[in-house]
Amino acid sequence: MITASRLTLARKRRGLTVTRLSQLAGLTTRRLTDFESGKATPSPASLTALAAALEFPESFFFADEIAELTADVASFRALSKMTASQREIALSNGRLARTLQDWVAQRFRLPAPDVPSLTSFSRCRSTDEQIPLPGEDTGAEPPAEHAAELVRARWGLGNAPIPNMLHLLEAHGVRAFSLSRDCAEVDAFSFWDRGTPFVLLNTAKTGERGRFDAAHELGHLVLHGEEQMPHGPAAEAEAHRFAAALLMPSADVVARAPQNPATSWILQAKRHWRVAAMALAHRLHELGLSTEWQYRTHCVELSRLGYRKAEPGGVQRETSQVLGKVFSALRSEGIRPSDIARDLHLRPADLNDLIFGLVVTAQTGGRQSTATSARPQLTVVS
């Protein structure tokens, strides 16, 4: 007996429709549908054909059920513009990341989640600290701006720039993983899973974009509920404002920016906050430090200099510190990435896709090691 839902998961991970997979595996669509619903069990030959077409080890289909992850709990931006297949690939990445996270959590003590949520802020707000709820118009500063200040205060960041956004998230218990290269349309997304916040990031963007995406997803986790992620332009604008406020605190920007900052000032100052030039230009305007006309001028000049699509001379792409430590600790115990991939019933290449490409996979041909019993025992490290 296979775990039928794993067949669907593997198909979605590869971005395949039922029709396409049945063609690849030489089955009728009816037959495949029956396998996926659990109405029928594939013969050994059918299973081999399916596993080959899906590029998953056959053992993947016999492992335990993996909890569902649906689009309504994930923070997808522009849900309507994203193709269904891209969304499914991203969500499947999220489900596989959860199994990897469970695997790691059984062997390592990881930072406890410490991501404040505005819901809990608002529940315990006192009369002297009124925190507006999202969408509540009080005429005061936008809630996202205020939420970013609260996070900075709670995490003891003051107004200093954030040297590494991804490490900061991980230090506060956010589990960060990377999106596979076959879902390039998805910048990032986040979700809560049994009280643990997850962020999945696209690794093809510039370092500055990656930092902003990570801060944006933190905004969703902080501002938007655990039960359901609101989608749409209002939620996106809030997460965006949160990211800008977190990376470029208004007090620091106001203190540093001259009157009518020139484009050359932006190009210098962006290094201080490690943000994209365009993001800083927008922040100046958002804070009333440049006029609409100046902002447009900045955009035109920055575009001309190549800062719309790229970030010349930009910062390095951030990567996971937790996963780096985990994999090097495992390596020192003699546990190879291929052993971990085998435990998770994944190809080493698919494991590598989830962990920012941190391990170089020597063999990706799917050759399975037979030395299962010789595997060393893992120890718990902090």
Site of interaction with Zn ion (CB under 5 A): 75, 77, 236, 239
Identify which of residues 236 and 339 has a Cβ nearer to Zn ion in the complex. Answer: 236
Q: Which letter does DSSP use for residue 250 in this model? A: H
**Smallest distance, Å, CB 197 to Zn ion?**
14
Instruction: State the nearest-atom distance from the C-beta of 216 to Zn ion, in Å.
Output: 6
- Cβ closer to Zn ion: 219 or 261? 219
Q: How many residues does the chain have?
A: 382
- Whose Cβ is closer to Zn ion: residue 146's or residue 241's? 241
Helix (H, G, I), strand (E, B) or coil at 75: coil
Q: Rounded to whole angstroms, how far apart are CA atoms 157 and 160?
A: 6
Q: In angstroms, what is the minimal distance from the CB of 324 to Zn ion?
A: 26
For the CB of residue 233, give the shortest distance to Zn ion in the complex, in Å: 10
Q: How far is CA 119 from CA 116, 125, 126, 196, in A?
A: 9, 10, 14, 16
Provide, rounded to whole angstroms, the least separation between the CB of residue 213 and Zn ion.
Answer: 9
CB-count exposure of residue 322 (10 Å: 0-12, 13-18, 19+)? buried
CB 148 within 8 A of CB 228: no
75 vs 250, beta carbon nearer Zn ion: 75
Contacts of residue 231, Cβ cutoff 8 Å, sequence gap at least 6: 72, 75, 76, 77, 79
Residue closer to Zn ion by CB (options 213, 350) is: 213
Residue nearest to Zn ion (CB): 77
Strand order in the sheet with 196-201: 175-178, 196-201, 188-193
For the CB of residue 90, give the shortest distance to Zn ion in the complex, in Å.
Answer: 13
Distance CA 345, CA 245 (A): 41
Residue 328: half-sphere exposure toward Cβ, Cα within 13 Å: 6
Closest CB to Zn ion among residues 193, 350 = 193
